[in-house]
Amino acid sequence: MSWKHFTEDLEIMPEVVVGTVVLYLLVIACTRMFGLKSFSKMTGFDFLNTVAIGNLLAMSAATSSPSLFVGALLIGILYLLNYLVSFISFKSNKIQGLINNKPIILMYNGELIEENLNKTKVTMTEIRGKLREANVLRLSEVRAVVLETTGDVSVLHTSGDEDLEDFIMQDVNGYPELIN
């Protein structure tokens, strides 16, 4: 067994520790400044931001490529861009519609909507898995299955005869057509 693998690059350990601490503190400061939504998964942009920041943090701290300064700058820019996209979307419904995908209904009142399954490329196996995750026992319990803007699947179900309130489904692509 060679110890070389475990002892290589020991001379850069102080830089790795300092870089990791600096970047970690930067992420905390940016999160405090720009808000917790920076790490949410409410939109695809939020998710992209979270993945990119994590990747930059790891690369800058562990490999120094990009350098600590460049990594910190890129992380700051990502926070700022995500904040600006969120702010503009919040202020303008028109811009929000251009930037964000709309959720789409995949199942309504226990019936699959084949056209939307085909559009979204969601398979029957994936739908069955999401129904099981939501503890659905009968398709008649399912009021709606929605593919959200983040790629998550929401399963709305009940054991009673309750109807969905329009407010919950207001922005879901394909829903209004189903109730009219």
Task: Give the tens place of pLDDT for each residue, 28-50.
Answer: 999 898 887 777 777 777 788 88
Residue 112 has a pLDDT of 94
Q: Are strands 153-157 and 104-108 parallel, antiparallel or unpaired?
A: unpaired
- Residue 146, Ramachandran bin (φ over 0: left; ψ between -120 and 50: alpha; else beta): beta
Q: Is pLDDT of 166 > 90?
A: no
Q: What share of the chain is helix, strand, coil (3-state, %, to 5)?
A: 65, 10, 25
66 or 138, which is more confident: 138
Provide DSSP, 125-167. Answer: HHHHHHHHHTT---GGGEEEEEE-TTS-EEEEE-SS-PPPPHH
Task: Supply the pTM of this predicted model.
Answer: 0.69
Question: Residue 1: its pLDDT value, please?
Answer: 66
Domain count, the chain: 2
The CATH number for 113's domain is 3.30.240.20
Report the share of the chain in percent with pLDDT over 90. Answer: 35
Say yes or no: 17 and 86 in one domain.
yes
Token pair recorded at residue 108 = 């309504």
Do 67 and 109 belong together in one domain? no
Domain boundary among 98, 125, 159: 98
How much of the chain, in percent, has pLDDT values that exceed 70? Answer: 97
What pLDDT shows up at residue 180? Answer: 62
Last residue of a domain, one of 80, 98, 116: 98
Question: In this model, does residue 173 exceed pLDDT 70?
Answer: yes
Instruction: Answer yes or no: do 105 and 162 share one domain.
Output: yes
Segment 77-122, tens digit of pLDDT: 999 998 888 888 888 888 877 777 789 999 999 999 999 999 999 9
Q: Is 59 helix (H, G, I), strand (E, B) or coil?
A: helix
pLDDT at 21 over 80: yes
**pLDDT of the residue at 58:** 87
pLDDT score of 152 more than 80 = yes
Same domain, 166 and 105: yes
> Is there a contact between 116 and 174 (Cβ–Cβ < 8 Å)?
yes
DSSP 73: H
Q: Which domain holds residue 41?
A: 4-98
For residue 75, name the pLDDT band (cuts at 50, 70, 90): very high
